Amino acid sequence: MDRLAGQIGASDGRLYRSTEPHERRVVDTGDGHRLYVEECGNPEGRPVIVLHGGPGGGCSPYMRRFFDPGHYRVVLFDQRGCGRSRPAASVEGNTTSDLVRDIERIRTVLGIETALLFGGSWGATLALAYAQAHPDHVAGLILRGVFLGRRTELDWFYGGGAGRFFPDLWDRFCEPIPEPERDDMIAAYHRRLFSDDLGQQGRFAMPWLMWENALAGLQNSATGHAPPEYARAFARLENHYFANGCFLDEGQLLRDRHLIEHLPAVIVQGRYDMVCPPLSAYELAQGWEKCDLRLVPASGHALSEPRISAELVRIMDAIRDDDRRDAGQEG
């Protein structure tokens, strides 16, 4: 979940200026995928790995702007099958475990010992999965719009729960699917997104994408059209993961939380997030002593919601200031 950050209700008030990467590379996974990876900011700075949403959303220049470029070494990459990674829209060898291995490969290739993980929506899911698999290489987690990959969360968004608040948009999402198939919208779209007809894939990719986009922002949502190839990659990858339960055991990320409870975490959650309702963030934070849950008023799901953006920058600046104090530097 969570696509094209920066298009929905963006506010530039607290964001850092846009910077260009000082390094771009392609990391070969060894099993047919090639990952686009970029680094921004201070090459000697505090490492932070940014995990984009989707699955299938890809990283964007907007995601670079939450970090003081003089302090942070910011690593962004396009996950398998999306963005500038190749092959595009491929679901072969594309599971959560594969993505966790990709993060570990990138960390090793870049010579990073430990890193902060910064991820929202599906990026929060992936941050938790990686941290639980490799806690010794994680310095802390900054999560936004928490999605835990559970059946209840998928049922909320694709089973009509969110549609009770947006009945007109839900009808538009359901319209392309024959009524007898509407009891399982993920499966119905899966049959069409993975048909042998590329034209059919494209026709069903756009309504899949637009349903999520329309609910992402509390006030201003991106409801226009996206480039067809982007829509196809996003819809296929996201549907592939959701049709397979995100390749996680049911409740796995909560079950294994004890593996990371020694790590500091901050969760920024929109109070009115209709894509990933606050219950998941609340359940994740309960009993986690080092986890700070911040419920942001008058805010939805998108990374670019003004109050969400401001809170994330505030958190990253506070971590920077703590680092400077620890190093005996001036603020």
Distance CA 29, CA 36 (A): 11
Q: Write the DSSP string, 237-301.
A: HHHHHHHTGGGS-TTHHHHTGGGTTTS-EEEEEETT-SSS-THHHHHHHTT-TTEEEEEETT--S
Give φ, ψ of 283 to 5 degrees: -65, -35
Q: Which of the residues 52, 273, 280, 299 is marked catalytic?
A: 273
| C-alpha span between 241 and 194 (Å, rounded) | 13
Contact 207, 201 (CB under 8 A): no
Distances (CA, A) of 325 to 138, 193, 270, 320: 21, 52, 30, 9
DSSP 8-class letter at 162? G
Answer yes or no: 31 catalytic.
no
Active site residue 273: yes
Does the active-site annotation cover 121?
yes
Using alpha carbons only, give the angle 3, 260, 93 rounded to the nearest 5 degrees.
50
In DSSP terms, which residues pair with 34 in a beta bridge?
A: 28, 86
Neighbours of 170 (CB within 10 A): 20
- The DSSP bridge pattern shows strands 72-77 and 46-51 to be parallel
Copy the structure tokens of residue 78. Answer: 């396009």
Active site residue: 71, 137, 240, 301, which one? 301
Of the candidates 85, 90, 121, 299, the residue annotated as catalytic is 121
Residues involved in catalysis = 121, 273, 301
